[in-house]
Chains A and B, each alone.
Chain A
């Protein structure tokens, strides 16, 4: 299968490294060969019709000097000529316009490619439209990495809970806020100080609002709700409350009665909400550090809880690569 990767950042580089290391293993195990013929950046792309030397481009010191580099190559313009089966969309998430991801995904579908993405923006804003478009052109969009990084929640439901109805979904979907709340609890420190510490350690962005105001978690909740609860909904449908106002005193009061404060994303009875909540200290949400949790309530299998890494290049690449292999197997 021929793939084009759009984006050459943290997730993309990890994916390309793993592809370089494991493509023999994947061929032996599943009988599919994955050939990367293009990798796009903002100012151009690496393109080689016979397959790129992935190790080489990942380790390149000056990408513009690479033989396969094509200046100002743009995916939307070139897609028709690449002769690819699958586009892997890994550009930054944008929850206002969802670009450039939205155009990339539409172009790929229109050019007869399946799509794998880690980008939340397009699905958080246009899930119903994108799935309609994919159905029209008889292509797939797989998006395991968009929610809770390495946790295989969509695959779990699609492949192993086939006859189940998903009744509700709840989770800790943002590692940064979970880290901040965990530190506020263990160190009895105020929000501002813990945020600074998290920024120094690289766990939080310079502009932290995307995480601490619940924007990231809300985008993920919308994707979970559309995909698992079959509820047509969008980013604007989420009631959102961040964690900036939480005081160490509130955490102490909660602790006294056996509760922790966690930033939860919930869809119960069709109501989408991201807000800090009290959870019992022995609850399945009492997970510390930057870990994520997804809890499903189903009619047959009853309750299921998954805990794992919600971010990180390799962890996210694990989900992206599994989606790519699934598409390769289906196209075989």
Chain B
């Protein structure tokens, strides 16, 4: 996980993605934090996955060469995922809003897979939620539970063993 500071202009994300990809890293999650007091910069948290051969120092070095301001980095990047299924009027209750609400809580909706029958009938939607912290993930799932309750959707969560 690397946290960097970028100016809040278009095209800035490419400055970090390209060096990371060149180092052989697989980017799992990018989280943009806009700080109120700093209007022209944004803090960006990047969670990535890399095999053992990739050295975090090399990654940091190549980012510095690009002129990116690195706020912090930690070598242990772990991602936590939970698969969930929603049943009901998932689309007519605004699925985009559902996803945005979850994303705003700091966890990523990594994938969405849906089975739609007739629009007036129930659809079934699978989502994979992802986060770099187990606690955040649990909170995200808890939030989704509340959203589903409000939107009258039936939620099936995974069970931890």
Contact = CB atoms under 8 A, between A and B. Distances in A.
A245 B123 CA distance: 11
B113 A245 contact: no
Interface stretch (A90-98, A115-123, A279-287): A279-287
Nearest to A170: B159
B99 interface: no
A254 B85 contact: yes
A277 B158 contact: yes
Nearest to A261: B156
Contacts of B84: 278
Interface in B116-135: 117, 122-126, 128
Interface string A254-281: 1011010100101000000001111110
B15 interface: no
Given A245-B88, A245-B122, A278 B157 contact: yes
A278 B156 contact: yes
A260 B159 CA distance: 11
A250 interface: yes
Contacts of A245: 87-88, 122, 154
- Chain B interface: which size bin? 20 to 34
B158 A253 contact: no
B91 to A, nearest CB: 13
A279 B159 contact: yes
A253 B88 CA distance: 14
B126 A253 contact: yes
A155 to B, nearest CB: 24
Residue picked from B115, B117, B161, most chain A C-beta under 10 Å:
B161
Interface string B96-123: 0000000000000000010101000011
A249 to B, nearest CB: 4
Given A257-B83, A276-B156, 18 more contacts: A241-B154, A245-B154, A246-B154, A250-B115, A250-B124, A250-B126, A252-B115, A256-B113, A256-B126, A259-B83, A261-B85, A275-B156, A275-B157, A277-B156, A277-B157, A278-B83, A283-B159, A283-B161
Of all A-B residue pairs in the complex, the 3 with the closest CB atoms, nearest first, are A249-B115, A249-B124, A250-B124
Interface of A: 170, 241, 245-247, 249-250, 252-254, 256-257, 259, 261, 264, 266, 275-280, 283-285, 295
